[in-house]
């Protein structure tokens, strides 16, 4: 019976230590978040001007037309053919 009492006390003490540690970690996270929001610099408003182009508009504007993507696609297809051929050989 003394062993059960000792184990019960040990588990109770470990549980209370873990609860205290979790409260300390949660409290520090909340406090650091509040301190960060207090001292955070305000963002300056962006100047009014022309809008940034989307990806498609930028490619057309600079004449890219995704030529690099087609080359990578062909390379990938070639590598996959080699891989599948090597998998089929016994």
Q: What angle do CA 56, 57, 59 make, to 5 degrees?
A: 65
Please provide the average confidence, as pLDDT, over all residues in the chain.
79
Each residue of 35-72: pLDDT tens digit? 999 988 777 766 666 565 555 555 555 555 555 677 77
CA atoms within 13 A on the CB side of 88: 6
Residues 83/76, Cβ–Cβ less than 8 Å: no
Task: Tell me the domain boundaries of the chain.
Answer: 1-40, 55-90
Confidence tier at 82 by pLDDT (50, 70, 90): confident
């Amino acid at each position: 019976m003394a062993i059960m009492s000792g184990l019960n006390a040990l588990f109770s003490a470990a549980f209370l230590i873990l609860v205290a540690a979790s409260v300390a970690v949660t409290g520090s996270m909340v406090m650091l978040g509040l301190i960060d929001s207090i001292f955070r610099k305000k963002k300056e408003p962006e100047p009014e001007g022309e809008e940034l182009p989307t990806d498609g508009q930028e490619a057309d504007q600079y004449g890219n037309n995704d030529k690099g993507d087609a080359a990578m696609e062909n390379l990938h297809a070639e590598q996959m053919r080699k891989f599948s051929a090597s998998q089929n050989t016994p």
